[in-house]
Amino acid sequence: MTEQELARLLGALEQGYAEDLVAHRGLTPEAALERSVSQIRESLPAGAATEEALLRLGRVGDTEVGWIWVMLPAAASRQAWIHNIEVDPAHRGRGHARRMIQLIEAELASLGVPELGLNVFGTNTVAIGLYRSLGFEVVSQQMAKPIAPAG
pLDDT, tens digit, 9 for 90 and up, residues 28-80? 999 999 999 999 999 999 999 999 999 999 999 999 999 999 999 987 789 99
Q: What is the rounded distance in angstroms from the CA atom of residue 17 to the CA atom of residue 15?
A: 6
Across 32-36, 111-115, 138-142, least confident range: 138-142
Q: Which of 68, 60, 96, 51 is nearest to 5 (CA)?
A: 68
Burial of 127 from C-beta contacts in 10 A (0-12 / 13-18 / 19+): middle
Tell me, rounded to whole angstroms, the distance of Cα 50 from its chain centroid.
Answer: 16
Region 97-119 average pLDDT: 96
pLDDT of residue 13: 93
Region 123-127 average pLDDT: 91
Residues across the chain: 151
pLDDT of residue 77: 85
pLDDT, tens digit, 9 for 90 and up, residues 78-104? 999 999 999 999 999 999 999 999 999
Q: What is the CATH number of domain 52-139?
A: 3.40.630.30
Sheet holding 53-60, edge to edge: 53-60, 63-71, 79-87, 115-118
| Model pTM score | 0.88
At 143, the pLDDT band (50, 70, 90 cuts) reads: confident
Q: Is the pLDDT of residue 4 over 80?
A: yes
Per-domain boundaries in the chain: 1-48, 52-139
pLDDT of residue 128: 95
